[in-house]
Amino acid sequence: MRLFRIQLLPILLLAVCSPAPAQQADDSPEAKGNSPDYPKTVLSPWYTVDPAWPQKPQGFIWEAMPGIAVDSKDQIWTFTRSTPPIQVYSTTGKLVRAWGSDTIRTAHHLKIDQEGNIWVADIGLHIVRKFNPYGEVLLTIGTPGEPGNDETHLDKPTDMAISPSGDVFVSDGYGNNRVVHFDGGGRFVRAWGSLGSGPDQFSLPHAIAMDSTGRLYVADRNNTRIQVYSQNGTLLDSWGDVIIPWGFWMTSDDQLWVCGCSPMPWLEHPDYPGAPLSCPPRDQILARFDTNGRIRQIWTLPKGIDGKEQPGDVNWLHALALDSSGNIYVGDIIGKRAQKLVRHEPTATATP
């Protein structure tokens, strides 16, 4: 019996180690299945860059473009760290007016209130200023040229939201990591927030917006979240782990558009020492949220190579705004320009 087992073992090993016979392909029509002629329909809007927008005058040199807004006349207000800092263009790209060289030092975000007044966050002068559409200073919040953390000083404020009654909520900002409420005359009402990652803390509140009910949305950039507050500073909601928010645009029907990039770890880039989170960003995203924090639309843009950006690329996407036709205007920091993204409508309607 032992001899039989020894003689049988090579036969078994040969059977186990021998390759299985190749399977014959079944080329019959039944085996191939169906490959339908898919309908070439697009159910989502999409965007293409208008490379001819705007027709910037030859004497104007753009630098970083941190602010952009659209007024009730569909005029696009660009806010650049150059001269003149405020430049206004039509939707077709023609220059309407420009000003601000003698009243603005370092641009950040820009807003337009319901009366058509222009509000700017000036991180160089540590102030928020209100102008009429022709550049006349109407109100200054903060002490020009003096950073601080009290009722009359700001420290590199980043943005502001203005209520219909004229109250102003400032994201203050790079230096103080708080939100400050002022009345329509610029008088201090209250403030909340400090540096940190707790529920009532911020790590660079970089933008702020208000919906039609008065709720406030704060871009807590380094904490990768959007914080939602009442006007008395009560935290109502928190949207985390979705986008690193850089800029906001609130539509009249309470759709919050956000620009930024997808979540990422901190970098220590030799070209940008000490920079906030997402410098440089890993990608470039536009996202539309409803007021419950649900993403309703997303659009990605190519991230440009420093100094080699092409039309449609963005590089450190910082600001966005929409006109009445749904076209999107974006401003970036390293790309140093404003661009128009033309909206294209879906080619079909979804059916249940």
At residue 170's C-alpha, the angle toward residues 244 and 89, to 5°, is 75
13: CB partners within 8 A, 6+ apart: none
Q: What is the pLDDT of residue 226?
A: 98
Q: Are 194 and 157 in contact (CB under 8 A)?
A: no
218: CB partners within 8 A, 6+ apart: 171, 179, 202, 205, 207, 208, 226, 227, 228, 229
Concatenating the DSSP letter of every residue in 50-69 gives -TT-----TT-------EEE
Indicate which CATH number applies to the domain containing 68.
2.120.10.30
Position 1 in a domain = no
Position 328 in a domain = yes
What whole-number distance in Å separates Cα of residue 203 and Cα of residue 278?
13
Q: What is the pLDDT of residue 268?
A: 87
Q: Tell me if residue 335 falls in helix, strand or coil.
A: coil
Q: What is the pLDDT of residue 76?
A: 98
Q: Which residue has the tokens 């919906």?
A: 211
What whole-number distance in Å separates Cα of residue 192 and Cα of residue 180?
7
What whole-number distance in Å separates Cα of residue 344 and Cα of residue 230?
36
Q: What is the mean pLDDT of residues 325-334?
A: 98
What digits encode the pLDDT tens for the residues 39-83? Answer: 888 999 999 999 999 999 999 999 999 999 999 999 999 999 999
Q: Are 76 and 68 in contact (CB under 8 A)?
A: yes
Q: What is the mean pLDDT of residues 104-117?
A: 98
How many domains does the structure of the chain reveal? 1
Q: What is the pLDDT of residue 6?
A: 39
Rg (CA), the chain: 27
- pLDDT at residue 326 tops 90: yes
Q: What is the mean pLDDT of residues 247-255?
A: 98
What digits encode the pLDDT tens for the residues 197-233? Answer: 999 999 999 999 999 999 999 999 999 999 999 999 9
Position 289 in a domain = yes
Position 16 in a domain = no
Q: What is the mean pLDDT of residues 263-270?
A: 93
293: CB partners within 8 A, 6+ apart: 226, 228, 237, 239
Q: What is the mean pLDDT of residues 143-169?
A: 98
Q: How confident is the model at residue 348 (pLDDT cuts 50, 70, 90)?
A: confident
DSSP β-bridge partners for residue 208: 218
CA 151 to chain centre: 29
Position 15 in a domain = no
Q: What is the mean pLDDT of residues 156-162?
A: 98
Q: Are 220 and 245 in contact (CB under 8 A)?
A: yes
What whole-number distance in Å separates Cα of residue 63 and Cα of residue 56?
13
User: Out of 265-269, 314-318, 326-330, 334-338, which region has the weakest mean confidence (pLDDT)?
Assistant: 265-269
Q: What is the mean pLDDT of residues 161-185?
A: 98
Q: How confident is the model at residue 146 (pLDDT cuts 50, 70, 90)?
A: very high
Q: How confident is the model at residue 33 (pLDDT cuts 50, 70, 90)?
A: confident
Q: What percentage of the chain exceeds 90 in pLDDT?
A: 86
Position 197 in a domain = yes
Q: What is the pLDDT of residue 40?
A: 87
Position 143 in a domain = yes
CA 232 to chain centre: 25
Q: Are 85 and 134 in contact (CB under 8 A)?
A: no
Position 66 in a domain = yes
Q: What is the pLDDT of residue 128?
A: 98
CA 159 to chain centre: 13
AA letter at 294: R
Full residue range of the structural domain in which residue 196 is found: 44-344
**DSSP for residue 41:** -
What digits encode the pLDDT tens for the residues 88-110? Answer: 999 999 999 999 999 999 999 99
Q: What is the pLDDT of residue 23?
A: 60
Q: What is the pLDDT of residue 350?
A: 63
161: CB partners within 8 A, 6+ apart: 111, 168, 169, 208, 209, 210, 216
- pLDDT at residue 300 tops 80: yes
